[in-house]
Chain A
């Protein structure tokens, strides 16, 4: 396809974006009123894009499957948002944020996009403060920062453990203002089920009204996919129950390339699985690694005793604990990037040192932080203090920083993390892969854009903590509003897109045929039954570590499972009614195809990089071994009817500014 061109502007990296903005076309305010834009998803990427585009004067039609735009899963992001403000004077800069992000992504992201991201990051904080987002502050009234993995500066802005919530509510407020003005038509409880292409351009969508069950047609001059990531392919993940790949997958099936699907992020600090009934996993923010120390017992017998309930973690003496991240990576310690921390936890548990009944958990311990903070506090306010007072004061400080996370842990696990270490284990959290986009965030379908987690562009093979919020808002507030104008400048005389066009009629018929097919199967097993089995295949073989044999097996298993699904799924209820089981079935259909493509992509990439670890490609001491000679490219897959027959297109990654070196956190 001719659109498979990254369109990176020429010129030096540091001025690419500003000089590009100076020369792209604009749409004048009067003409913007005649242009419609569809935005699918209302998280940080979609909500910010909807608000910004409506403020500029475009007519926005926004969609979410939840009952309100405020519920998008960005709301659950906990720790923070990065920005190169250098408020701490600790040596941060746009270049350093750019460099850390490229390095953290294991040199598999596009330089120009990442530099732009770092460049606009500071404006995000300014904008959010202006909207009334209540970030954490110091006593002097200025903004506070914390540290996140993969960097040696404090550049993360936060609002306790609810930063995503506060940023999303900021974007939702901005959207609400435009909804009130009639500039955004908000369609809640709607799910996009197909993209409509007219004369080679994205001109609308078919969406199902989840309350009435009716299919509805929506026309626009451009379509923005901001529907988030595909982590729920694993069934168990930190994503919301409804998070899905459907919108992204539908555009893929209509011609948009899907890039690097094997890059998934397994987050090191989640609450471990407790049983088969489990419906989702809960993250404990990476910010906890600022103060928490991760360990397992040094002796196998101690781990065994703990697993059998004969010993408690507090019984293990300091000398008998293995702070394995501090041991293996002294320079970054507990703040190594997520992929490194996750693999290290798996390595210890696989070796038999895991600590809960399942053997799949490690400790995240706050005892030393509580004592340290308590002593500091005691010195400033109490003078001489007993150990008891010190610990009490320390707990107060920790509560102020992470109170809601500790409460969440306590409610789920029924153990008090102020008194005993938390148990954690890696879980699926984020997907770096996604719809391929060029520098303008346009997919290979003309007029169809993808932003936020739904696209692939900024995090390479591993995303750094606090960078997802940054990317979502950067795309929506500060990138797309510029780049989309350059495209829409051609549409000022087009007029309304009629939804009576034959392309709309045909797309609607096809969607309806797909739904009828599902409803007519009338099999014996529920949608969740299939989803759980798919998740297990993907977790076991396309999870934290992958090898050729396992991947080939997974491809075959997913194909078989898909066939079984189409023969034996049972969906109750009717098509034209409120039917959550049908909603789930529509999503699982797409996961069953995506899962296969993930394995295909992982099989193709025989190197290890970031979140993608191939058993065959590791150093002697078990670290990931990249292969820049053969794999410094983006793998963009073209749909041909079957995921295993997708055609691979390579976008070679050109590094002008950064020298590719081994990623070293030691």
Chain B
């Protein structure tokens, strides 16, 4: 198929940036979206132009590196996929496709479609863990039974890949879905409960300091999330937060 791409080009963080139009031809439905981008870049390089910078790595939907905002949606029109899992069969011959980076104050653009998501790492460093050292002497893994229901819910929350689609999709650029997924995972497991109160307070504080917006419950984050992380996690985090506020030392 033949397509028209309109792609955000920005030389660096201080550049103003603009949309640039690129026609592209001979695109096959079995190609992934990023393979289409590869073809565009090969053509640009051979023509002596600057290829489009975009983040990508595993190309199987799990590393969370790819981050394209396609036709106004994080990871494009398909549901429950990352950009690398989006296939060109979802588009039609003659389509115009708009490709932009994640847009959020907390995710500054590095170049073109590549943004800096270091804020997520800093939120994790403020509390996204269980404080247990590596020793080989912790209790046996089966010493504490965990209800299958809780373990499954914790797992579902833990499948978040930290891509940032939730932030990019939110009118307020809120990171609540991301933060709540980690808070929920650890709050649901007995191993995480010892530090639960302090964890949620610290992570929320860092989230606010990093410049993410507030949550107004529009639910766009959960719709666009490639891993279908549930809004229930936000509700759970709010409960955890109030528990922490009321009873923290």
Contacts and interface: CB of A to CB of B under 8 A. Distances in A.
Interface stretch (B91-99, B145-153, B166-174, B215-223): B145-153
Interface stretch (B1-9, B29-37, B234-242): B29-37
A241 B148 contact: no
Contacts of B19: none
Residue of A165, A274, A478, A570 ringed by the most chain B CB atoms within 10 A: A165
B126 interface: yes
B248 interface: no
A278 interface: yes
Given A240-B58, A277-B31, A279-B38, A572 B121 contact: no
A134 B31 CA distance: 34
B73 to A, nearest CB: 16
A172 B124 contact: yes
Nearest to A166: B158
B138 interface: yes
Contacts of B186: 132
Nearest to A271: B60
B62 A132 contact: no
A85 B142 CA distance: 10
Most buried by B among A477, A481, A526: A526
Contacts of A48: 134
Contacts of A478: 134, 136
Contacts of A132: 129-130, 154, 185-186, 189, 191-192
Contact of B42 (A134, A524, A526): A526
Interface stretch (A70-78, A385-393, A610-618): A70-78
Contacts of A507: none
A570 B133 contact: no
Interface stretch (A337-345, A444-452, A573-581, A651-659): A573-581
Interface in A165-185: 165-166, 169, 172-174, 176-177, 179-180
Nearest to A141: B145
- B: interface residue count bin: 35 or more
A67 B65 contact: yes
Contacts of B116: 67
A570 B48 CA distance: 9
B158 A169 contact: yes
Interface stretch (A119-127, A246-254, A365-373, A552-560): A119-127
B145 A126 contact: no
A79 to B, nearest CB: 13
Nearest to B134: A52
A407 interface: yes
B132 A180 contact: no
Given A174-B134, A188-B118, A70 B162 contact: yes
Interface in B21-68: 28, 30-32, 34-35, 38-39, 42, 44-46, 48-51, 53, 55-65
Contacts of A160: 155
A51 interface: yes
A159 interface: yes
A138 B132 contact: no
Interface stretch (A314-322, A408-416, A418-426): A408-416
A509 interface: no
A130 interface: yes
Contact of A142 (B65, B132, B145): B145
Contact of B121 (A87, A142, A186): A186
B125 interface: yes
B128 A125 contact: no
A137 interface: yes
Given A173-B130, A414-B87, A414-B89, A162 B191 contact: no
A277 B39 contact: yes
Nearest to A238: B60
Contact of A130 (B57, B58, B159, B191): B191
Nearest to A186: B121
B63 A76 contact: yes
A477 B61 CA distance: 27
A137 B110 contact: no
A176 B117 contact: no
Given A126-B141, A131-B132, A188-B118, 7 more contacts: A48-B134, A68-B121, A131-B130, A134-B151, A141-B147, A176-B128, A275-B31
Interface of A: 48, 51-52, 55, 66-71, 73, 75-76, 85, 87, 120, 123, 125-132, 134-143, 159-160, 162, 165-166, 169, 172-174, 176-177, 179-180, 186, 188, 211, 238, 240-242, 274-275, 277-280, 282-283, 407-408, 411-412, 414, 477-478, 481, 524, 526, 528-529, 570, 572-573, 578, 580-581
8 contacts: A70-B121, A165-B62, A180-B127, A241-B58, A279-B59, A412-B32, A412-B87, A478-B136
